[in-house]
Amino acid sequence: MMEEKDKYGKELDLAVRIVHMACSLCQKVQQRLVSTASEQVLAKDDDSPVTIADWGVQATVSWLLSEFLEGQNVSIVAEEDVQTLSKSDAANLLAAVVNTVNECLAEAPKYGLQCPKKALGTSKILEAISLCNSNGGPTGRHWVLDPIDGTLGFVRGDQYAVALALIEEGKLVLGVLGCPNYPMEKELLNYNHQRLQTVPTSPTPSDIWEKGCVMYAKRGSGQAWMQPLIHGDTKFEWPNSARLIQVSPVDDPSLATFCEPVEKANSNQLFTAGLANSMGIKKQPMRVHSMVKYAAIARGDAEVFIKFARSGYKEKIWDHAAGVVIVEEAGGVVTDAGGIPLDFSRGLYLEGLDRGIIACSGPTLHNKIIGAVYASWDSSNL
């Protein structure tokens, strides 16, 4: 285990344990979603689905961070609020969230953390969710949480991620990314994806390819790590189960695989397709929900992640923070389309973003893509 004297060692240790717990919560809720009616799925104001897992993870992470970083003024930037849960017709949903959180927290000792002395009541759960109301910014320390990134993927039994990062004085300092449906071994990726698409049954924890993984990195270490999720009564061990990951050495566009979002609503797939074609990228894009795209780059399953949002769409920091630091520490490069590193110091959004986001396995490929963007931009319809 990292020495406590190492800067951010304590925070990284805690964050990894918390994300493992959050992934366990998500897996249990997802099993229920694919086997029961979908009354647990609601529509948020932007019409994206949200489930008890979103609120459950946010409450769990908020409570654990506040409890184990006692004495610190814990600031958390996160996506959900309690407006929907507080409505009079949401009593059953709120009860389900409370039960889910307490079920998760009861397993804290398995992860080397203490559970509450007694079950948390409704008011404590709502308070924990409401505490995640920070706007971040250039000063102080801010945890950045996306309780479920890729909720559509989650609801469909496909890829999603639990993302937790730490920003200090406007700079990313650590990131943890839990990917419950992303198998440890690359060769099992397509098989796992096809199975999830065609047989929406409860996961079988004994299948190693189905365990999923957690990736994490600390700024300046030059290392990124991956470990399997645990199941059943298996005791959490860290870092014994972790292994180093690195980006792909491929720098020839014709051999590269690129990722992009599944949804067309917040990404211009026509432009990225044209860009890929102009560079000689021959493989079909790997379209995947959530920050799993960053995970794919970090461990060498793909070489490029391109995202050019449609006009009016603002990138939120929780959709990128954890993934960016992991990719960069694994040897990759992440910038906007102008080649400028992403700025996480300006609040909830990646303000000042030049056109889009480009994550690559290395500087050679990255420079080629930046050049292609400039060559293609004027002729595009963006």
CA distance 379 to 127: 51
Return the amino acid letter for 213: C
Q: Per DSSP, what are the bridge partners of residue 217?
A: 175, 224
Give the torsion sign (CA, 349, 133, 58, 324): positive
The number of angstroms, rounded, from the C-alpha of 273 to the middle of its chain's C-alpha atoms is 25
CA distance 20 to 23: 5
Q: Name which of 341, 364, 338, 339 is nearest 279 in CA terms.
A: 364
Q: Name which of 370, 268, 358 is nearest 313 in CA terms.
A: 268
Distance in angstroms between the alpha carbons of the first and the last residue of the chain:
48
Is residue 148 annotated as involved in ligand binding? yes
Is residue 79 annotated as involved in ligand binding? yes
Is residue 146 annotated as involved in ligand binding? yes
Contacts of 143 (CB under 8 A, 6+ apart): 65, 74, 75, 76, 77, 164, 165, 166, 167
Asked whether 358 and 334 are in contact (CB, 8 A), the reply is: yes
CA distance 282 to 273: 10
Helix (H, G, I), strand (E, B) or coil at 291: coil
Helix (H, G, I), strand (E, B) or coil at 217: strand
CA distance 181 to 183: 6
The number of angstroms, rounded, from the C-alpha of 298 to the middle of its chain's C-alpha atoms is 13
Catalytic positions are 54, 151
Return the amino acid letter for 97: V
Is residue 158 annotated as involved in ligand binding? no
Is residue 233 annotated as involved in ligand binding? no
Q: Residues comprising the binding site for Mg(2+)?
A: 79, 146, 148-149, 319
Q: Residues comprising the binding site?
A: 79, 146, 148-149, 319
